[in-house]
């Protein structure tokens, strides 16, 4: 299996947790539905689906640009692939796609939004939409703007995801709205939820939405209110977050290597609802 089946490079993406989450699914006998209320790049969800570790995945993302990419991958694949095939990967095209994105970013089904999101994600430093192009505008860096935009690879991934579309449900809702209005559609005994909200401290630098501190408090309350479901939640290490979850959930720290601006060995919080069996496994060491 490739490191991730996702089309996107995502800051703090959790695809490296794939084997750990597969183990949680196994020991809790959960094989039907896997949900990500903050889908982002959805690399972990797609890994589980392609590995047949789960029957169906449910992806939700409030960001209209991220949603538009998944929507068009599932529903408008030929036009999306045509754009991948025909668009030049250059600084001039980067400037054009930047303008397209500013114009179309609030349209959740626009193929122009979808493609500009993909283009900027694959050509920007660390995949951050608001970042600058890899290699700089003068292209005098070590890496060039096209180094992460491998057309053949992206087309293959897009086709593979589209071929699985009957097993993928997609929503474009605020996470709190999704929790309160959509979770009742799923059976708690057959469903696992992975909440991966934007970082408490650095979220405003990496993500386009959900960065106010009060949002985290409201989210914690809603997650805990649905403790009939098996779930885990990951966060950056902040006392405020620990205080929101630790009294009503299992609380751990874990270490995981990933890249967000620089490669580092990061320690994060991992919370789980009381009924979920959870233990150290693979590359995840719980403390």
Interval 15-64: pLDDT, tens: 989 999 999 999 999 999 999 999 999 999 999 999 999 999 999 999 99
What are the structural domains, with CATH classification, of the chain? 1-62+174-287 (3.40.50.150), 65-172 (1.10.1020)
Q: Would you say residue 82 has pLDDT above 70?
A: yes
Q: Would you say residue 232 has pLDDT above 80?
A: yes
**CA–CA distance, 46 with 51 (Å, rounded to integer):** 8
Query: Taking residues 70-96, what's their average pLDDT?
Result: 98
Q: Would you say residue 2 has pLDDT above 70?
A: no
Q: What is the structure's pLDDT at 215?
A: 87
Query: Binning pLDDT at 50, 70 and 90, where does residue 263 land?
Result: very low
Interval 154-177: pLDDT, tens: 999 999 999 999 999 999 999 999
- Percent of the chain at pLDDT > 90 equals 81
Question: How many other C-beta atoms lie within 10 A of the C-beta of residue 34?
Answer: 23
Q: Would you say residue 254 has pLDDT above 60?
A: yes
What's the whole-model pTM score?
A: 0.92
Cβ atoms of residues 186 and 45 within 8 Å: no
Q: Enter the tokens of residue 255.
A: 């270490």
Q: What is the bridge-based pairing of β-strands 33-36 and 191-195?
A: parallel
Residue with tokens 């400037």: 95
Q: Would you say residue 72 has pLDDT above 90?
A: yes
Interval 172-207: pLDDT, tens: 999 999 999 999 999 999 999 999 998 875 544 444
Distance of CA 100 to the CA centre of its chain: 23
Cβ atoms of residues 106 and 51 within 8 Å: no
Q: Which residue would you say has higher pLDDT here, 264 or 97?
A: 97
Q: Would you say residue 211 has pLDDT above 80?
A: no
Radius of gyration of the chain (CA): 18
Cβ atoms of residues 43 and 2 within 8 Å: no
């Amino acid at each position: 299996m490739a490191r991730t089946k996702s089309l996107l490079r995502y800051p703090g993406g959790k695809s490296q947790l794939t084997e750990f989450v597969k183990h949680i699914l196994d020991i809790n006998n959960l094989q039907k539905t896997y949900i990500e209320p903050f889908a982002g790049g959805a690399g972990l969800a797609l890994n589980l689906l392609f590995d047949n570790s789960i029957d169906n995945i449910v992806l939700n993302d409030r960001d209209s640009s991220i949603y538009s990419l998944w929507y068009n991958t599932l529903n408008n694949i030929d036009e999306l692939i045509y754009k991948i095939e025909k668009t030049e990967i250059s600084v001039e095209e980067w400037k054009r796609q930047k303008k397209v994105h500013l114009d179309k970013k609030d349209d959740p089904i626009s193929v122009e939004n979808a493609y500009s999101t993909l283009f900027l994600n694959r050509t920007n430093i660390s995949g951050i939409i608001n970042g600058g192009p890899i290699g700089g505008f003068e292209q005098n860096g070590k890496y060039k703007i096209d180094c992460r935009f491998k057309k053949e690879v992206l087309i293959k991934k897009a086709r593979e995801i589209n071929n699985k579309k009957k097993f993928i449900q997609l929503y474009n809702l605020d996470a709190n709205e999704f929790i309160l209005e959509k979770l009742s559609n799923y059976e708690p005994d057959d469903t696992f939820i992975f909440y991966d909200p934007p970082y408490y401290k650095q979220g405003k630098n990496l993500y386009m939405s959900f960065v106010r501190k009060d949002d985290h408090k409201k989210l914690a309350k809603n997650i805990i209110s649905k403790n009939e479901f098996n779930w885990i939640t990951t966060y950056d290490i902040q006392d405020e977050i620990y205080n929101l979850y630790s009294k009503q959930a299992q609380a751990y720290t874990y270490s995981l290597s990933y890249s967000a601006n620089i490669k580092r060995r990061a320690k994060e919080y991992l919370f789980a609802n009381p009924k979920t069996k959870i233990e150290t496994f693979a590359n995840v060491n719980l403390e």
